[in-house]
Amino acid sequence: MAFDMYLKSEKVSIEHYEENLFLLINEDNEYPKLMELWENYYNGPRINPSEANDMAHELIRLRSIVDDKPILSVVDKLLPFFSKAYKLQEVIKCVSD
């Protein structure tokens, strides 16, 4: 287990090898909510719907400039999850190891 996010009964994980996403955006002011998630990664954060929406939009921006397939697969996994949280107005609960 690396980092699990729960939205009702749905679960999405960021595995240790997928954490490169955060290294890519490290200290980039274009991705403040994703960096906030990384800074709280081991504190079991809760992501409210508004934050999930902001993260989804940051992932859309990131997707438009990245051509690294492993990073894109992480983005493509997270983007619909964060969007769904916003659409449902549900909080994402996070657990990390």
Q: Is the pLDDT score of 1 beyond 70?
A: no
Closest by CA to 49, choosing from 28, 33, 72, 31, is 33
Give pLDDT tens digits for 4-63: 999 999 999 999 999 999 999 987 889 999 999 999 999 999 999 999 999 999 999 999
- So what's the pLDDT on residue 67? 93
Which domains, from first to last, does the chain contain? 3-96 (3.40.1760)
Q: Are 23 and 44 in contact (CB under 8 A)?
A: no
